[in-house]
Structure 1
Amino acid sequence: MKRLFPLLIILLVSSIFTATSVLGETTDSLDHKIGDLEEEKNQLDEESQTKKSKLDETEDKLASNKGQQEETKDDLNQINNELEETQAELVQKEEEIADTNNQIAETENKIEETEKEIKKLKAEIKDLKKEIKELEESIEARDELLKNRLRSIQENGGNKSYLEVILGAQDFVDLINRAAAVTKIMDSDKSIMEEQEEDKAKLEQTKEQVEESKEEVEEKQASLEEDKSSLETTKATLKSQKGELDTLNDTLSEQMDEKESIMEELEMEEEELNEIILSAEEEQQLIDAQAASVQKAIEQAEQEKNRLEQLAKEEAERKEKEKQQQAANKNSNNNSESSSSSNADTSATPEVSSSGGGKFIRPTTGRITSSFGYRYHPVHKINKLHSGVDFGGRASGATNIKAAAGGVVSFAGWMGGYGNTIMITHSIDGQIYTTLYAHLSSVAVSNGQTVSQGEQIAVMGTTGTSTGLHLHFEIHPGGYKNPVDPMTYLN
């Protein structure tokens, strides 16, 4: 709204100038002027309706924008919830995969230990097989020995019993020898038979032990291999599930980025629409103010027309009375000429000017510390246009600020980096100007106030974006936002 204050004041001032300039016009010209003003007012009314229509359209767009923002926020919340759930599942899957990897590692260690046991058992089996072979050879040798003895007994009268052998002794010594021999043979046969039975039993036992050990190791190895295969399958499944979750997470992240981008665009659009609405409202206020000024000018023109018509009527009545008086005195001996009253000049009303002079004066004393033009900004640290002239202050105290020309105060207050600021609208030689006075410590005027050239309006300061005591002074021909070098306009 601040940027429209100068334009608003310009319109109000121009309307006042228009109203005051018609004071010296004739009734015919006033009729023409009133017609022009009414046509202008009608155009302003039409423009006002157009602006209102565009404002309504923009407000509808803003409402739609806000609705889209709400939908986008809901989508963002939903995606965010899905992302959180997916990421939680990812963490769980990673933990499960880690646990499965540990189990696989443990199983592999067990398999490695089992393989060592198998290797050891195979060595034992090898020894047992060797022992079995030895037993089989021993049994086979005994079987051969027993076969030979039986064959010998058959060949040498195998029908005789050991008792007959003993009883066939020739003497006592022979008896003793025969008895000893029979005993020895019997013991040998018995020992052979017992050893044979023991070896056969041991052989069977060893074979059974080998088979049992082999089956146990094979079963253990098969179980471990099965466990490992199952764990590998589980691991592959978990990795597949994690891959799906990673894909989902990437998709959701992309959707989140897309929605956030849409949200940013909607927020930017909302700002632009709000700015459009604000500008439209300001323009509407400007149009309304202009229409009010035109209406005021019409009313003043009507009043002036009525005044002129009244004056003309009175003048006609005066002339008629004078004519009658002259006729009555026509035959008088004393025909002295009566002097007629001088006619009132109804078309010489002086035009009013809001300017205190035709030129600008320096707004304050002091030397120029920074000229108009591009420079390296002491605060922002970039090259930018310095749209005015800086006048330095006195170290000994405050410096008064004067109006560079007469006019109407269009703004008086705080203006961002300018700090305390005054803007004055002037009409000089038919040209509209705006002067700006910034970084003031105090302001002595208010919006809409009329000031004269040289009148004190403020005190120099260092408010806003400022590095020291000074006055920043600007001149804008044709209204604000058109800065020129002030030095080309100052006395």
Structure 2
Amino acid sequence: MKAQIKNLQMSIVDANEKIRDKQQQVDDTKQKINDLEAQIKVLQKRIDERNQLLKQRARAMQQNGTSASYLDVILTSKSFGEMLDRLSAVNTIVNADKDIMMQQKRDQDKLKAAQAEVEKKLSELQGMLNQLEKMKADFNAKKSQANALMQKLGQKKDDIEKEKLSMSEQNDLLSAQKAAIDKAIQMEKGRLADEAQKAAEQAKQQNESSLSSSGSSSLPPVTSGMFTRPAEGYISSGFGAREGTYSGFHYGVDIANPGSNVPIVATADGVVSRSYLSSSYGNCIFITHDINGKIYTTVYAHMSARLVGNGAVVHKGQQIGIMGSTGESTGQHLHFELYPGPWIPSHATAVDPTHYINF
């Protein structure tokens, strides 16, 4: 059954990514339709104005008789010079009329093409919306199936999880953590200054991109001090011993936020020691920090998506993921842990993050 849950969790993560991509396609198509409709309004206005002008010209010609022919101009001219002047005037009027008609034809063709494009985009949009609804229905079905399996295993509800990792996960984390600590110390000493500067520029571009494309949530403000808060939201479960139905010890804090695409950010400069999908922690990231010569470790769990990989250099306030409910979790939130020193499997050195971060 645990293997089923893990497979479902991987399917849920994949479905969530596809939903986000499809939603972006829908948003892009809606913007193209808006642009085309604005273009249609401009073209229609120009066409209407020219139609009015052409009607006025037609009425004037009807009232004054048909426009003079070249023969009339020649026969009624009193001199050769007057004839040339009148011929020039007639040519100017005729050419102006031709230009107006050509412009009118071009705009009418553009209008027809733009209207056809709108119809095409509207048809594509309807297809995308239908696909999106189906993807969301499939996603919800998989999520319900995963929740049902977890309930059969007696797992806790309402944003409660067993912060417990398998032995293989623990070994992988401890091995990767050592390399991350060495890299973080090198960063602190400045030997990776060039890499850090490049990563900072990439982080800035990524943050600007996330602000423009996330659609509903912005990055939390970067605060002074050693650490900044990892996500916007409220603390739904604090650090420490639990009583009653959910007894036990909670080695971190849970930050809940029901919004869509809620960003998760690195709380300080550091190196990603591990970024992977855990059966219990879901999409999770472990970051090693060297702050004022001392090692710290932060953990971010249950995300719907991870945006940085193993060994990545991250910076304070840089987006690293999106809040979700993967792994052993039944509600959208971020489970966040903080360790002075390296992470250890027993969690014995975990501290209350609220003592370091103003939530």
Regarding TM over 0.5, the answer is: no
Higher Cα Rg, which structure: 1
**Structure with the higher fraction of residues in helix conformation:** 1
Larger RCO (CA within 8 A; separation ≥ 6): 1
TM-score, scaled to structure 1: 0.30
**Structure with the higher fraction of residues in strand conformation:** 2
